[in-house]
Amino acid sequence: MQKRPDAVKFKGKPLALVGPQLKAGDQAPDFACLNQGLELVTLASTPANKVRLFSVVPSLDTPVCHQQTKRFDDAVASLGDRAACYTISLDMPFAQKRFCGAENISNMQTLSDTHNQSFGKAYGVLIEGLPIPLLSRAVFVLDKNAKITYCEYVPEVTSHPNYDKALEALKSTAG
């Protein structure tokens, strides 16, 4: 498995990311995550007739991840059924369900990568070198053919992504 040394910082400390650095134009790799009902979700099982947003966060129980999920949840409401939007973390599905209920998250679906970290490894966001596994903050937009049209790896895990650019890419891809 490819490792990218010093690819991200966590509170200023350089750390490696496991997996490739994807870019716009790449075909999105497959993954196998769990939804809140403990059902397996793969790239192929996400709606192919919609553009997709993957908002990747370390943990929903931290302030920036909380804000990121709320901000995208509010912003994607205007797209209706033209987009399928997901927040992906290593949180347990039960914790994701609790968070979504408490915060009235209705437009973002949560996916847990905790069982095999396949999303983290395939999308190059699995952080190596921390006491526990975490995903690095990132945003991916996929078109209806599962081609990546926008990709941002946030260089400092504790910083916010560029919401405006991600949402602009999502809306232009959705048409």
Please state, in angstroms and rounded to a whole number, the distance separating the CA atoms of residues 155 and 119.
19
Q: How many CB atoms lie within 10 A of CB 47?
A: 11
DSSP conformation letters of 22-83: --TTSBPPP-EEE-TTS-EEEGGGS-TTSEEEEEE-S-TTSHHHHHHHHHHHHHHGGGGGGE
Tokens describing residue 131: 């006491």
Q: How many CB atoms lie within 10 A of CB 131?
A: 5
151 is catalytic: no
Residue of 65, 85, 100, 151 with catalytic role: 65
The distance of Cα 8 from the centroid of its chain, to the nearest Å, equals: 16
Residues 6+ apart with CB under 8 A from 12: 156
Active site residues: 65
